[in-house]
Amino acid sequence: MIIRVEDLEDHGVAIDDATALAQAYADPAWRLERVHLAFERDGADVRACGRLEATVPLTCGRCLEGFRAAVTADVDVRLVPRPAARHDAELGADDLDVDFYVDDAIDVDRLVEAETMLALPMKPLCREGCLGLCPACGANRNLARCACPERPPDPRWAALRDLAARRST
């Protein structure tokens, strides 16, 4: 979906229909569940704010099993016209909420996909208490207990273990 900046003159534009953005993601397995986005113009800049809820397939960081995760992204982005010269497009630390639009057109699909990606967890877990994989045989501990003996602790950590024991007493 494309929004022309000139169409935002008086009252802005609001998007509340997730089906209008059904093709927002390049990966067809990603699904936008709910959306509320408001676009308001401020001179040449446009402020986009709202909330996205999506369902995306991820791989657990502990057990390596695939699962579908609910992702929620709060959107608050200032869109500015892209400068003509690439070297003029340098952003600083205070500009983390800034993005560009080109030719008086805002690509809402690109914005939705980028904001959803930014909301993905850094280490996705299939569930909070995921037991992960056995370090010896690689079995998924969520499915069955393996018969591997417990490995003895690494002796290089003994000094820290002793320090922790002294602090607790």
- pLDDT by residue (tens digit) across 40-58? 988 888 899 999 999 999 9
Residue 33, token pair as written in the block = 């569940």
pLDDT tens per residue across span 89-134: 566 666 667 788 888 888 889 999 999 999 999 999 999 999 999 9
Q: What pLDDT score does 55 carry?
A: 95
What's residue 118's pLDDT?
Answer: 92
81/131: higher pLDDT? 131
Q: How far is CA 102 from the centre of its chain?
A: 24
The predicted structure's pLDDT at residue 58:
96
Sheet holding 45-59, edge to edge: 13-15, 31-42, 45-59, 66-81, 98-101
